Homo-oligomer: A and B are copies of this chain.
Amino acid sequence: MTRFMDVHHDMHGITADQLLEAHRADLAIEGEEGVHFERAWADPESGTVYCLSEGPSAEAVMRVHERTGHMADEIHPVPLTV
C-alpha cells in the first residue's frame, strides 16, 4: 500500500456539505478498489481540494474518484511523512 495526495483544481465555491458528500461517496466504494481515503482539505476560493489516501496504485485511487464523478487533476505518491 502506498500513500497518495491527489489535487483537484476546479472546485470553486465548494461548501462543507459538498466536501462531506463527495468524501462519503468515495468512502462508499473505496473498498472495491482496495483504497482508503483518510482526509481531505478544501479551499473554496481557489477551488483547490487535497485528498490524502492509501491504496495499491495511483490508478486505483483515481478510479474511485472517477466512479464518484470527481476526477482529480494531479496525484502523487507521498511515501515520506512527518
Contacts and interface: CB of A to CB of B under 8 A. Distances in A.
A48 B77 CA distance: 10
B50 A82 contact: no
A78 B42 contact: yes
Contacts of A16: 80
A35 to B, nearest CB: 16
Interface of A: 3, 5, 14-16, 19-20, 23, 39-46, 48, 50, 52, 76-82
26 contacts: A3-B41, A5-B41, A5-B43, A5-B48, A14-B80, A15-B80, A19-B82, A23-B82, A39-B81, A39-B82, A40-B81, A40-B82, A41-B52, A41-B81, A42-B78, A42-B79, A42-B80, A43-B78, A43-B79, A44-B79, A44-B80, A46-B76, A48-B76, A48-B78, A50-B50, A50-B78
